[in-house]
Amino acid sequence: MTKPVLAIAALGGTVSMQAQAGHRGVMPSLTGEAMLAAVPGLSALADVHAETLCLRPSASLDFEDLLRLLDWANRQVDSGAQGVIVTQGTDTMDETAFFLDLLWEKDAPLIITGAMRAATQPGADGPANLLAAAQVALDEGSCRRGVQVVMNDQIHSARYVSKCDSLAVHAFASPLFGPQGLIIEGRAVYLKPAHTRSTLPAPERRHHHIALLEATLGDAPLILERVVDLGYSGVVIAGFGAGHVSREWAQVIGNLAATIPVIVSTRTGSGSTARETYGFEGGELDLISKGARMSGLLSARKARILLWLLVGCKREGELEDWLAPTY
């Protein structure tokens, strides 16, 4: 019986890290092929094609790396891969997943996984996460679900997953929404149906920048006042509470919104921005009247990625539609 084909791209991260002589701390060193050797039973599931695209901590990845990864993943599916897995560091995994999900047009699943413990640490979780990712990628129920994150035997939607703990093995969660599914006895068990997805084309423009600023108590809007002069094409603000800023920040936002797109999110880590509740200067009603867009349930980090892609595709006029709730 012919086994399905599974493509795995290794980008580095904790899942690839080991202690090395002469260095303090662990560093990326394991190739994709070396990681596969530590995963019992994987070769019985599929014919695996693994390729090491880079060995970096995920904080050093950039959008160009992800666009090259996207091209690679598309070629793998066009060549017959049933699913694609990406191993990378967890620090930016939620951002990477959302970026790729906005561009992934294939029905085939694209799964992102990694590890919270380095390969040489006791209880290293990389092999188990990689096996679980393979089980999800090969499951027919994973088709047409876009990009998903598989960590700690949970399957998370790229839109809502977040890294919620700095070091714990159970670091990933989807606040409010919960996981899309679980891995139970080696099978992907989905708790929620797949939803219709919209995607964007690869951006034509790739050298622009979107600022992300957090509102904090008593802070003057000195940086916010300079974002256009600094060359930014848009700005996302992680605001207080349901998407609020000080009166001073609100006044600057009113000037900026006439020139570049401005999105206001919440810095709380969970919950939605408001639209029709608070009317004080710096509240959401005031900010909307000044031309800012509220991000709703989309986090500030992901709103920045969405805006970068929309500007790159010259479709920033569609921003309000893309920020509309998706459940």
Residues identified as active-site: 14
Collect all residues with Cβ–Cβ distance below 8 Å to 190 and sequence separation of at least 6. 141, 155, 180, 181
β-strand partners of 154:
151, 182
What are the start-end ranges of the E strands in the chain? 5-12, 17-19, 26-28, 47-56, 83-87, 110-113, 147-151, 154-157, 162-163, 172-173, 181-184, 187-190, 210-214, 234-239, 262-266, 293-294
Q: 19: which strand partners?
A: 26
DSSP assignment string, 168-207: -TT-EE-TTT--SEEEETTEEEESS--------PPPS--S
In angstroms, how far is CA 141 from the centroid of its own chain? 21
Given the DSSP bridges, would you call strands 5-12 and 187-190 parallel, antiparallel or unpaired?
Answer: unpaired
CB atoms within 10 A of CB 57: 19
Q: What is the CA radius of gyration of the chain?
A: 21
Q: Cα 225 from chain centroid?
A: 28
Q: Which residue's entry shows tokens 């700095």?
A: 166
Helix-helix angle 93-103:63-78, to 10 degrees: 50
DSSP code of 302?
H
b/e code 196-233 from CB counts within 10 Å (16+ = b)? ebeebeebeeeeeebbbbebeeeeebeebeebbeeebb
Nearest to 293 by CA among 243, 245, 248: 243
Q: What angle do CA 280, 281, 282 make, to 5 degrees?
A: 105
